Structure 1
Amino acid sequence: MDFFAYLTRFYLPFAFFVMGESMQGISIKPGILVLVGNKQLEIIDSVSASKIRARDLTTGEVLLISPGEIEFELKKAAPMSNPNSGQTERTSLIESANEADIELASDRYDVLLPIAGKRPISKKDMIQCTEALKLSASQVYRLLDKLDTNIGPLSLLPQRRGRVKGVKLIEASAEDTIQEIIDQHYDGPGITYQEIFEKVKEQCLAKSIPVPSEATVSNRLRERNPRALMAKKYGSKAASQEFEVRGGKVLPEEPLELIQIDHAEVDCIIVDSEHRQPLIRPWVTLAIDVYTRVILGLYLSLSHPSTMSVALCISHAILPKERWLKLIGMPDGEYPFYGVPKRVHVDNAKEFKSKNLEDSCRKYDIKLTWRPKGVPHNGAHIERYVGTLMTRVHMLPGTTMSSTKNRRHYKSEQHAAMSFSELREWLIREVEIYHKTTHSELKCSPLHKWESHFKSKNGRFSYPSIVDDQKRLLIDFMPFKKRTIGRDGVKLHTIDYYSPTLKRFNIGSRCIARYDPEAINKIWVLPEGEQNYIEIGYADLRLPNATLSEFKRAGAKLRADSKRRVPAAEVFKLIRKNDALVNSAVACTKEMRRMRERKKTRLTDSGHPLNEKNAQQVKMSTSPSPDYSVKPRPYDIEE
């Protein structure tokens, strides 16, 4: 009989009883079990000289019986009295036994079962048992005393030497002290096993009881439920994250059915492109397709996450990447993933909760959903990839690692070496490596998973549909304000914008004005009833380009000084002075270098979709754009 046959047999119900001695040997007293007819009864007490009160073990009914009706005394209670206790004990015994012991117990059980209920045992039966089991008569009697039909063959397992598991040898008062200290003081992230032992030692000495060893106290902690201990130390949220079973996942069945988007501050300090001085940790916004695990879109920025970051990441995910790769100087890069997703899943950050984002997604038939609060594993795919990517970032010069503890004595700013464009190029290559590497869950590379879906049986490829107006796509996801067209054009953030195209609309016409917070020199206006945006710039061409935050900071400074409404012209005048100060400084402070690099990156980065026209113009001519604030110089012939 093999091991699994034993296990099956041990869990079968047992339908036999162990009979006691003959009638003259039965001592009638409360608590004994007897057989009366076909009923198993427990004696309760005596009623009279001829009547005994007993309880039916099967139905619980109380009966009156006479002593003469008792046929046998039952040695053990029938399994019906507690059907679960035998199975619980069998499970415990199986977990602690080996196969050889189980086989020996099964053989002995088969031999002893026929005589288990007999008292006395005949000489013939005893000889047969001793010969079959190769044991002495006294050993057979001991086995018969151990045999329990409620547990089955496992009741005859050999007893191992040594202390039984779970038996405590220390005094009860010391045991109570340990448990009390754990309940009261094992709390907070700073608590350690050593501190618990010191408190136990202090209490035991105060009570004049023997102090348990440090190992004993540590063992009592390990015996506790690990989830409960983590909840006491780090909180219930951390305990759930570590131990909670999470099922019921609804996974997508094709590419672009579900993408997840999230931001991360890159664990690496970059340098400015001009002086190679340390600047800042950039932010990256990533979009992952859950079905194929491809990184559908990414956007690297020196600015904190914003509505614009989300817009640029979504538009990058939707659009083909070939033109973008050429503009940033990576024409050989392979990035074939694009398409309009059916659902975008994000967290509850402010930039994801705007009505503008929801309306823009609805315009392209994209369903926007949010994670339940406090449930980070609902965005596990993007979170896991961010962790994987940051592990690779930790190999770069200037890395900050994931914490000061991990960084130790490494001087991140001293070793910083990569500029913004260099980090982006490295990042894109890392993403490409990831796309071509076997994924542990997919059992193939994300690139293969994507291609296998769009590849037909005859070897031909199909492709996701392409959005025709690519610039319109980005503009649709930009932040916006509702405005009216005035005599001077459109006013936004107290700045006047104008284009001759606005002349065909009446004063007072309503419109939507969309803008880029990182470059406010132009906006895109959609008048009511129109289908296409109108790009318009400053009404005063002499005004410099600036970021919205830069403009607001300068305006706040002037208002604090004058306590009056500040015209936009005065604000831009202050911005020009600041720009001149930064440009003329020999040794710029870190904050100034950050501001300058941030503006420079936004205005000159060829990878930004709004700079594509500028990048093409730079290739054609390296002459600087005219500065309208400088008085024009006449030609010699004009003089």
Structure 2
Amino acid sequence: MIDKDYGDYFEETPSVVIKRRRIDVRSGALVRHRDGVFRIAEVLDFNTVTATSMQTGRTSVLLVSDLENVDQDPGSPSDIDINAIVEDDWRVAQTRFAAIEPLLTTKSPTRAAVQARAQELGVGIATLYRWISRYRSLDAVSGLVPLKRGWQYGKGRISKSVQLLIEDVINNYYLTPERPTAEKVVREVLRICEEQNVQAPSATAVRQRIDRIPEVERLRRRGQRERAKNKFLPTPGTTPGGDYPLAIYQIDHTPIDVIVVDDEHRKPVGRPWLTIAIDEYSRMVAGYYISFDAPSVVSVGMCLAHALIPKDMWLLKHGVDAEWPIWGRPKKVRWDNGPDFRSDSVRDVCNLYAIDAEFRPVKVPRYGGHIERLQGTLLRELHDLPGTTFSSVQERQEYDSEGRAIFTKSELEKQLLKIICNEYHRRNHRSLDMPPLRRFELGIFGHGGQLGTGMPPRPTDYLSIYIDFLPIIWRTVQNDGVDIDKRYYADVLRPWIGVIDPETGKGLKHPFRRDPRDISAIWFFDPELKEYFKIPLADPNFPSCSIWELKRAKQELKDAGFDPSDSTAVLRSITERRQLTKDSAAKTKQARKAAQRQADHQRVADEGPAPVQAPKVRASADRDIAPRPTAASRITALLPAASLLTDVVRGSDIA
């Protein structure tokens, strides 16, 4: 047990309990409605179901958006941060997922199939049914984490040095034309660990990392290039594996071929970037993200987060009257080999949501043909708008793109939404011989005697998804808080000041999540309370700004010969530069673009992740915590509040 000196009380710090629960929208599922608990009788379409009240027995037509999940396992620790799951528990969860994965291909596996699988694995039938139920309640592997364990201090995942050792053995020994077996790789890792006198990882941990290698990369690097090409390289018009809705998403970035103007002076500021996801089966657009910032981990995360959530409130926010009924976790995502797609944050969140990330073969552009054709289609539609740059200088000729520009970024986004929902989704697709929306509906609900996949589970808490997809930064907690470019502090950090990691003998590092567009606060996951706390900047006078603004201000101070760590000087530099930018915004395009980026980042800070519904956050001041409490007393004090459901949220403000 960690000895903590809490003082008398914590100051008020808003907290959010992560809820990755999904509403199971299919026949026979129990759901909660404001009129009570219902059992779904029939799914009529993406928006409505018929359901029978468990209290009165009467059947009613209900809106899907009004339904909530019925918590069947309130004690589950599965709604915690992936970094708080110890290695042994994570390994158990993945083993359980492998056990039930063959049974997840159908909505309701037969008892005979479950019994056969149970006999094959040597586990009970009831156990398999329980695992299936827990997995589907979250649609995430974390739902299978052992209930009796959770966080155990000092038993974190294997150290970074051992991880690097395993990666080195995999890259230089396993991924070679000699093709050694996984067992030999395990022995080689154990040999090197013994030689270097470090604690060796388990054989399962090594095999886990081998299993994460995409098959195409495994075949190619182990001397089987032709086999990899024959198995994975698609021919024009085809892509392997995308044979049902949400089977595979493709994601990519592209600059939009339209010059936009700033919000204040209506002067040209340049072309924004578009990150977009497409469902390979139906060609439906699954999600997107628009920003003036170059493609990054944030672009990928926000696009994926947008793809996972329902879009009804998003369309309402932008004033678009349309239907966009795609949400849920894809089985696999395909993207290129850029560093933004290969980041640790993206990899970890894909593992958390059981999304298989697959990288396109290098120098084979047609492997991402669907997403590139979609980008071409959307950009051609935008070529009709004032301010278009067309697709080339030759095509643009004497057209004055900047002189004709009239749309702000938000106005252009509304145009894009109308094109996606009311035109592209409803227009006949040459490769499908039907509109993408119709193809998606047939894949979900079935047709001609063929069963559909059924509606995917519907997320209940958009803020949880937003937090999950934010980049992670690891830091220790010091007496004056946490240093991530700037200093952050709240009393909720106090118990973790100066705590030593027994494995390394150094300060215990914690995962913090931050939205680079708004660094006025970071998210801290308390590994004992299993909650996220929003930690503000220690300096209350420092303005809300993006990491881009902060780094630029520090560099300008350094170039001028001043100390870039001087908080007052940085604050003054940002304030002065904003005023200069505002004064010169009507004069130069570069200044206007900088001002517009500041405005976009400020909008994220002002509105939050998304304007759907304000979350009911709890404050640490409500806990009545006495000095030096035990972990058990902290959790006991929270039990009354923990029984209250936290209302959802605000979706992710991807604008």
TM-score, reference length from structure 1: 0.55
Aligned AA (1:260): Q
1:108-119 correspondence to structure 2 within 5 Å: none
Q: Deviations over 1:497-530 (max 9, x none)?
A: 1223323444435311111111111111124455
Q: Aligned with 2:319: secondary structure?
A: coil
Counterpart of 1:487 (choices 441, 461, 479) is 479
Amino acid at match of 1:317: A
Change (3 A) 1:552 1:445: same
Structure 2: state its 5+ residue gaps: 1-233, 500-507, 616-655
Give, in whole Å, the separation in 1 of the partners of 2:546 and 2:384: 33
Aligned-partner residue type, residue 603 of structure 1: Q
Question: CA 1:614–1:565 in structure 2 vs 1: closer, same or farther (change >3 Å)?
Answer: farther
> 3-state SS of the aligned residue for 2:458?
coil
Residue aligning to 1:464 = 456
What is the identity, as a one-letter code, of the residue corresponding to 1:438?
N
CA-to-aligned-CA distance 1:361-413 (integer Å, 9 cap, x gap)? 10110011100110000000000111111111111111111111111111110
2:585/2:592 contact within 8 Å kept: no
Q: For 1:254, what is the secondary structure of its paired residue? A: coil
Of 254, 270, 294, 2:260 maps to 270
Matched, 1:424 2:416: no
Note if contact 1:327-1:606 (Cα within 8 Å) is conserved in structure 2: no
C-alpha RMSD of the superposition: 2.8
Aligned 8 A contact 1:510 1:528 in 2:
no
* Residue aligned with 2:492, SS: helix
In the other structure, the counterpart of 2:282 is 292
Name the CA distance, whole Å, in 1 between partners of 2:605 and 2:558.
36
Letter in 2 for 1:496: R
Counterpart of 2:463, as a letter, is: K
CA shift at 1:572, angstroms? 2.1
Q: Quick one: distance in 1 between partners of 2:235 and 2:607? A: 43
Deviations 1:443-495 (A, max 9, x none): 111111111122257999942112333212122222221011222222111x1
Of the structure 1 ranges 568-577 and 297-306, higher mean CA displacement relative to structure 2 is found in: 568-577
- Which consecutive unaligned segments of at least 5 residues does structure 1 have? 1-243, 617-639
What amino acid is the match of 1:325?
A: L
Separation in 1, partners of 2:564, 2:340: 30
Taking the aligned partners of 1:283 and 1:598, their CA distance within structure 2 comes to 12
Is the CA contact 2:544–2:605 (under 8 Å) kept in the aligned structure 1?
A: no
Q: Secondary structure at the match of 2:521?
A: strand
State whether residues 518 and 546 of structure 2, in contact with CA within 8 Å, keep that contact through their aligned partners in structure 1. yes
Residue pairs, 1:170-189, within 5 angstroms: none
In the alignment, the residues of structure 1 paired with residue 541 and residue 376 of structure 2 have an alpha-carbon distance, to the nearest angstrom, of 46
So what's the TM-score if we normalise by structure 2? Answer: 0.53
Counterpart amino acid of residue 478 in structure 1: L
The one-character-per-residue Cα deviations of 1:20-65 (angstroms, maximum 9, x if unpaired) are: xxxxxxxxxxxxxxxxxxxxxxxxxxxxxxxxxxxxxxxxxxxxxx
Q: Secondary structure at the match of 2:493?
A: helix
User: What is the 5 A alignment of 1:270-349?
Assistant: 270-330=260-320, 332-349=321-338
Helix, strand or coil at the partner of 2:403: helix
1:221-260 equivalence runs, <5 A: 249-260=239-250
Q: How has the CA–CA distance of structure 1 residues 571 and 613 changed in structure 2, closer, same or farther, with 3 Å as cutoff?
A: farther
What displacement does 1:568 show? Answer: 3.3
Larger radius of gyration between Structure 1 and Structure 2? 1
Correspondence for 1:140: none
1:582–1:588 CA contact under 8 A, matched in 2: no
The alpha-carbon distance between structure 1 residues 532 and 588, as it changes in their structure 2 partners (threshold 3 A), is: farther
Partner of 1:451: 441
The structural deviation recorded for 1:605 is 6.1
SS across alignment from 1:519:
coil
Distance 1:285 1:296 in 2: 11
Who is 1:99 aligned against?
none
Q: CA deviation at 1:612?
A: 2.5
User: 1:266-301: per-residue Cα shift (whole Å, max 9, x none)?
Assistant: 011011122111111011111000011100001111
Whether 1:401 aligns to 2:390 is: yes
Equivalent position of 2:362 in the other structure: 373
Q: Distance in 2 between matches of 1:615 and 1:466?
A: 19
C-alpha contact (below 8 Å) 1:255/1:292 kept by paired residues: yes
TM-fit CA distance, 1:608:
7.4
Distance 1:335 1:276 in 2: 31
Q: Distance in 1 between matches of 2:604 and 2:374?
A: 26
1:554 deviates by 1.3
Alpha-carbon shift at residue 583 of structure 1 (Å): 3.1
Structure 2 match to 1:350: 339
1:387 matched to 2:376: yes
Amino acid at match of 2:476: T
Q: Does 1:439 align with 2:438?
A: no
- Report the CA distance shift for 1:481/1:530 in structure 2 as closer, same or farther (over 3 A): farther
Q: Tell me: CA distance 1:609–1:543, structure 2 relative to 1, closer, same or farther (3 Å).
A: closer
Trace 1:445-594 onto structure 2 (pairs within 5 A). Answer: 445-455=435-445, 462-493=454-485, 495-508=486-499, 510-529=509-528, 531-562=530-561, 564=563, 566-585=565-584, 587-594=586-593
- Quote the residue 1:596 is aligned against: 595
CA–CA separation in structure 2 for the residues paired with 1:609 and 1:325: 17
Partner SS for 1:298: strand
Report the CA distance shift for 1:532/1:586 in structure 2 as closer, same or farther (over 3 A): closer
The one-letter code matched in structure 2 to 1:333 is A
Distance 1:581 1:272, change over 3 A: same
- Structure with the larger RCO, 1 or 2 (CA within 8 Å, 6+ apart): 2
Amino acid across the alignment from 1:291: Y
